[in-house]
Amino acid sequence: MPANTRLPLLVTALCLLAAGTTACEPSGDHHARPTTSGTTPASGRVNLLAEDWSHLPGGTVEPGGVRIHGLGRQIVLQDGTGGQPHPPVNLRGPQLTVHGDFHIRATLHRPAGQTASLYLYGEVPIVYDEWLQNRQGLRITITEHQLNLTVWDGHSATPATNRTTPVTSPTTITVTLERHDGNLTLTTDDTHMSAPDPGVFDTGTVTFGADADPDAPDWTLNTLEATARNTGSVTVRDTRTPAQQTPPPDSLRALAETTSRRLPIGAAMAAEPLVSDDGYRALATTQFSMLTTENALKPQFVHPGPNTYNFAEGDLLADFAAANHMTMHAHTLVFGEANPRWMQQLDPADRERAMTEHISTVAGHYRGRVAEWDVVNEPLSPEDDGPDGRPGLREHLWQQAMGESYIDKAFTAAHTADPDATLYLNEFGAEADGPRWDALYDLVARLKDRGVPIDGVGFQSHIHEAGDHIDPAVLRSHIADLAELGLSARISEIDVYGESPRVQATQFAGVLSACLSEPTCTSFTTWGITDRYGSTAEHDSYPLEPGDELPWDQRLRPKPAVAALQNTLRAARR
């Protein structure tokens, strides 16, 4: 293929993610380079840096290679503990298809004091905002005096191999990782170490990632090549191959189009499975007309350091939504959870400025691409701890610094940053009558009285216990009460856990029908698509122990809930 007819992998990645052929165009700031995507040079050698590295979080494509700046991204728990590293993955970059023996050789420039890490994943990690599960993959780390090889086999959080050897590390170093005869061997000019291969690349793919110490000077990946050995082969996965997916007429999104409301049907989605799991991506594109960012735009993902923003995963989701003609609902600007440690440790006097800066930068970045924001998530206390026996405001860093006014300030800042976005306050447990609904109603009524630019309320609709069962008639009455205040509503995060498939189906369908019956209910969104990646999974277990809360099971088979949702949509045909 002549070089000038080759497409940047970025474009092919978006085509892969696209449902419509017209959508195969990149957007945003890219520095895509020519690529050999989809080709196999006769030598069985692939120049991976000729592919797209422009979306690597913390990476900058330069003439001499890819400069790696550490983001210091970590998974921090709500009490400020934890801190599991969350290294960048080049999700929109090259995926290598491998068979048999091969080696991957990297040359890098590592300034003194820097720790350079290169990741080769057989399966990309599963990422949530309270944990990251490493699956099959390996990390090569080079410090001043040491070379380290860490191998995860997908059966445990503990690495199967973690070996270190001394290295006389010059500034420029070449490392070669070879898979051969059931072993993994790592070689540099002056050292050599081997470990048994637990089948890290048995998936037949390699996805790359790179990380750095944020406090040391950046390192540069100057070359990265894969070469087949013996009878093995290496190719860059041709992401253009999969056929474009057209929503079948009985899909949720196609049926919803036939309702008089043309109600958007959404799901919370994550970047990693959209890229790495063809079945998940197919459901995402064919079944849903709306996308909520599950974790990618929570503060600790998007704003890992006081002056460090990372939009890579959020941009992937925004481009995916646009390419597939989905409305993008962004979650969430201000929340008591999922905040990076630096935010949790802010002096109270600095919090208002930090909050409004965060909002203006993040909502400003997505201006024009995001239709709606959850501006404030879960402002109510989980307990009935207010003076009137209802929930008071949830105590967290923003509320402690500003009292209730943090909500006013957050909405005002979001409206300034993106005047066209529809702005929601999102809450759980307010679908039934009782003190929680009363507290929510009074809160949003006060906001409206004060002229706060709030457009609507999200009813999360998590049904995790029998006591959470939602009565559609009561939910309808709440939506109607909000309409009288001039507020719209949406079903923002429904999932139904621990119920029989029949009860689960009835609950999903009842809530959808309540939404369809109220003209001010603007959309219906499930909190995920499949139990394979559901948010109630037991995350410490290998293999992952999924929950059962979503419409598609962990093998991506539809449960009765899917038919119940389809029937509810059919019944609302215009």
> Residue 270 CB, nearest distance to ligand 9MR (Å)?
8
Which listed range, 56-64, 105-113, 127-135, 234-242, lies at the site for ligand 9MR (CB under 6 A)? 127-135
Cα 37–40–45 angle (5° rounding)? 105
Q: Could you tell me the smallest distance in angstroms from the CB atom of residue 469 to ligand 9MR?
A: 18
Q: Report in angstroms how near the CB of residue 269 gets to ligand 9MR at its nearest.
A: 11
Active site residue 62: no
Which two structure tokens, joined as six digits, stand for 45?
């050698």
Does 339 bind ligand 9MR (CB under 6 A)? Our answer is no
Of 115, 130, 223, 563, the residue at the interface with ligand 9MR (CB under 6 A) is 130
> What residues numbered 352-381 form the site for ligand 9MR, per CB under 6 A?
377
Strands (DSSP E) contained in 181-243 are: 183-187, 192-196, 205-211, 219-228, 233-236
Query: Is 542 an interacting residue with respect to ligand 9MR (CB under 6 A)?
Result: no
Name the CA dihedral angle for 261, 262, 267, 269, rounded to a multiple of 10 degrees: -140
Q: Active-site residue 378, yes or no?
A: yes
Smallest gap, in angstroms, from Cβ of residue 59 to ligand 9MR?
25
Place of tokens 């905002």: 129
- Name the catalytic one among 378, 431, 499, 518: 378
Among residues 295, 327, 356, 504, the one that binds ligand 9MR under rule CB under 6 A = 295
Q: For the segment 416-435, give every residue that binds ligand 9MR (CB under 6 A).
A: 428
Cα 476 from chain centroid (whole Å): 31
**H runs (alpha helix) in 288-370:** 299-302, 312-323, 341-344, 348-365
Q: Does 129 bind ligand 9MR (CB under 6 A)?
A: yes
- Compute the least distance from the CB of residue 369 to ligand 9MR, in Å: 20
Buried b (16+ CB within 10 A) or exposed e, 119-136: bbbbbbbbbbbbbbbbbb
Q: Which stretch binds ligand 9MR (CB under 6 A): 126-134, 181-189, 277-285, 350-358?
A: 126-134
- Binder of ligand 9MR out of 133, 251, 285, 460 (CB under 6 A): 460
531 binds ligand 9MR (CB under 6 A): no
Helix extents (H) in 450-521: 472-484, 501-517
CA 326-327-330 angle, to 5 degrees, is: 125
Nearer to ligand 9MR, 234 or 376 (CB): 376
**From candidates 38, 128, 214, 409, binder to ligand 9MR by CB under 6 A:** 128
Q: Which is nearer to ligand 9MR, 208 or 428 (CB)?
A: 428
Burial of 229 (0-12, 13-18, 19+ CB in 10 A): middle
The verdict on whether omega for the bond into residue 348 sits within 30 degrees of 0, i.e. cis, is no
Least distance in angstroms from the C-beta of 284 to ligand 9MR = 15
C-alpha span between 160 and 157 (Å, rounded): 9
- 3-state SS assignment for residue 285: helix
Task: Report the residue number, 44 or 498, with the smaller CB distance to ligand 9MR.
Answer: 498
- What is d(CA 58, CA 312) in angstroms, rounded to the nearest whole number? 9
Q: How far is the CB of 271 from ligand 9MR (least distance, A)?
A: 13
Query: Which of 36, 90, 293, 535 touches ligand 9MR by CB under 6 A?
Result: 535
Closer Cβ to ligand 9MR, 153 or 427, answer by number: 427
- Choose between 197 and 493: whose C-beta lies nearer to ligand 9MR: 493
C-alpha 523: how far from chain center: 21
Contact call for residues 284 and 310 (beta carbons, < 8 A): no
Nearer to ligand 9MR, 12 or 292 (CB): 292
Catalytic site residue from 313, 493, 499, 549: 493
**Nearest distance from C-beta of residue 29 to ligand 9MR, angstroms:** 28
Kindly tell me the sign of the dihedral angle through the C-alpha atoms of 447, 449, 452, 455.
positive
DSSP state of 81: -
Q: Which of residues 477-516 bind ligand 9MR (CB under 6 A)?
A: 493
CA distance 473 to 477: 6
| 337: contact with ligand 9MR by CB under 6 A | yes
Helical ranges in 299-431 per DSSP H? 299-302, 312-323, 341-344, 348-365, 397-402, 405-417
- Candidates 211, 294, 315, 418; binder of ligand 9MR (CB under 6 A) is 294
**Total residues binding ligand 9MR (CB under 6 A):** 13
Q: Which is nearer to ligand 9MR, 337 or 385 (CB)?
A: 337
Mask of contacts with ligand 9MR, 79-118, x by CB under 6 A? ----------------------------------------
Nearer to ligand 9MR, 37 or 461 (CB): 461
Cβ proximity of 212 and 304 under 8 Å: no
When the beta carbons of 15 and 511 are compared against ligand 9MR, the nearer one is 511
Q: With the CA atoms of 70, 72, 75 and 78 taken in that order, what torsion angle do they form, in degrees rounded to the nearest 10?
A: -160
Question: What residues contact 21, with CB distance under 8 A and at least 6 apart?
Answer: 244
Burial class (CB in 10 A: 0-12, 13-18, 19+), 191: middle
Tell me the catalytic residues.
Answer: 378, 493
Residues that bind ligand 9MR (CB under 6 A): 128-130, 294-295, 337-338, 377, 428, 460, 493, 527, 535
